[in-house]
Structure 1
Amino acid sequence: MMEEFRIYLQRIKPASWMKGILYGLLLLVIYRSSLQWLILNDWPREDYSYACLIPFVVLYLLWEKRRELAELPSTPSWGGMFPLGLGLVFFWLGELGGELFAQYFSLWLVVLGVCWIHLGWRKIKAIGFAFIMMLAMFPLPHFINTKISLGLKLISSQIGVWMLHLYGMSAYREGNVIDLGFTQLQVVDACSGLRYLFPLMVLSLILAYWFKARFWKKAVLFLSSIPVAIFVNSFRIALTGVLYSFWGPAVAEGFFHGFSGWLIFLFTTGIMLVEMWILNKIGKDDLETASRVCESGTEVVEETMNSGNWKRSFLQPQFLAAGIFLALTLGLSEGVEFQGKTPGKQPLHEFPLQIGEWSGTREAMEQAFIDTLDLSDYVIVNYRDRKNRAVNFYTAYYENQQKGESIHSPDTCLPGSGWKFSQAEEVVIKAKKGKSMRVNRVLMEKDGEKQLAYYWFPMRGRVLTKLYQLKLYNFWDALTRQRTDGALVRVITPIASSEKTADADMRIRNFLNEAVPLLPAFIPD
Structure 2
Amino acid sequence: MNTVSTPSETKPAAERKRPSSGPAAPSSGLVLAFAALLLPFVIYFETASSIAAIWERSGTFAHGYVILPISLWLIWQRRTTLRTLPLQPYLPALAALAVCGAGWLLAELGEVQIVRQYAFAAMLPLTVLALFGVQVAKAIAFPLFFVLFGVPVGESLIDPLIQVTASFTVDALRMTGIPVLREGNNFSIPSGDWSVVEACSGLRYLISSITLGCLYAYLTYRSFLRRALFVLASMLVPIAANGARAYMIVMIGHMSGMTMAVGVDHLIYGWAFFGLVMLLLFWVGSFWRQDQEAAAPAPDAAAPRSARMVPAARMAGVALGLLLAIGVWPAYAYYLQHGQGKAPVAALSGFQPAVAAADSFTDWKPGINEANAHLSRSYSVAGQPLGFELFYFRQQHEGSKLISSSNRLVGDDKSPWHDMGASVRSEGIGGRQLAVRESILNGPRERRLLVWQWYWIDGQNTVSNFGGKLLQVKQKLLKGRDDGAIVLLYAPYEENPDAARAAMRQFLATGLAPLETVLVSNLKP
The answer to whether TM tops 0.5 is yes
> Structure 1: 5+ residue runs without aligned partners?
1-6, 281-286
**Contact 1:178 1:186 (C-alpha < 8 Å) held by counterparts:** yes
1:319 counterpart residue number = 319
Structure 1-normalised TM-score?
0.80
> Aligned pair count?
492
2:6 counterpart residue number = none
1:3 counterpart residue number = none
Deviations 1:95-140 (A, max 9, x none): 3322222221222232233221222223222222122211110112
2:80 counterpart residue number = 67
Deviations 1:462-489 (A, max 9, x none): 2233112332333343344332231111
Aligned-residue offset at 1:365 = 5.5
Structural RMSD (CA): 3.8
1:462 counterpart residue number = 460
**Contact 1:407 1:487 (C-alpha < 8 Å) held by counterparts:** yes
Q: In the superposition, relative to structure 1, how do residues 38 and 244 fare at CA in structure 2: closer, same or farther (>3 Å)?
A: same
Aligned-residue offset at 1:362 = 6.5
Question: 1:466-477 alignment to 2 at 5 Å?
Answer: 466-477=464-475
Deviates more, 1:241-250 or 1:192-201: 241-250
Aligned-residue offset at 1:261 = 3.2
Distance 1:162 1:9 in 2: 66
Aligned to 2:68, what secondary structure does the other structure show?
Answer: helix
Q: In the superposition, relative to structure 1, how do residues 301 and 199 fare at CA in structure 2: closer, same or farther (>3 Å)?
A: farther
> Structure 2: 5+ residue runs without aligned partners?
1-20
Among 29, 35, 40, the residue aligned to 1:21: 35
Residue type of the partner of 1:324? L
Identity %: 18
Aligned to 2:481, what secondary structure does the other structure show?
Answer: coil
Deviates more, 1:463-472 or 1:198-207: 463-472
Q: In the superposition, relative to structure 1, how do residues 411 and 95 fare at CA in structure 2: closer, same or farther (>3 Å)?
A: closer
Residue type of the partner of 2:321? A
Distance 1:410 1:197 in 2: 19
1:221 aligns with 2:230: yes
Q: In the superposition, relative to structure 1, how do residues 96 and 167 fare at CA in structure 2: closer, same or farther (>3 Å)?
A: same
**Contact 1:146 1:412 (C-alpha < 8 Å) held by counterparts:** no
1:521 counterpart residue number = 518
Deviations 1:278-334 (A, max 9, x none): 666xxxxxx574354448994676455867x544542x3x33322333444465456
Aligned-residue offset at 1:154 = 1.6
Structure with max Cα Rg: 2
Aligned to 1:252, what secondary structure does the other structure show?
Answer: coil
Structure 2-normalised TM-score?
0.80
2:173 counterpart residue number = 164
**Contact 2:381 2:506 (C-alpha < 8 Å) held by counterparts:** no
1:385 aligns with 2:381: yes
Aligned-residue offset at 1:160 = 1.7
Among 231, 234, 251, the residue aligned to 1:242: 251
1:251 counterpart residue number = 261
Aligned to 2:338, what secondary structure does the other structure show?
Answer: coil
Question: 1:489-504 alignment to 2 at 5 Å?
Answer: 489-493=487-491
**Contact 1:152 1:193 (C-alpha < 8 Å) held by counterparts:** yes
1:341 counterpart residue number = 341
Deviations 1:14-64 (A, max 9, x none): 33223432441x333321222222213344301111111111111122122
Among 84, 89, 93, the residue aligned to 2:102: 89
Deviates more, 1:11-20 or 1:200-209: 11-20
Residue type of the partner of 2:235? I
Distance 2:189 2:303 in 1: 67
**Contact 1:100 1:404 (C-alpha < 8 Å) held by counterparts:** no
Deviates more, 1:396-405 or 1:447-456: 447-456
1:271 aligns with 2:272: no
**Contact 1:159 1:234 (C-alpha < 8 Å) held by counterparts:** yes
Among 387, 391, 398, the residue aligned to 1:396: 391
**Contact 1:180 1:241 (C-alpha < 8 Å) held by counterparts:** no
Aligned-residue offset at 1:346 = 2.9
Distance 1:225 1:118 in 2: 34
Residue type of the partner of 1:419? M
**Contact 1:420 1:444 (C-alpha < 8 Å) held by counterparts:** yes
Residue type of the partner of 1:521? V
Residue type of the partner of 1:290? E
Aligned-residue offset at 1:174 = 2.1
Deviates more, 1:481-490 or 1:146-155: 481-490
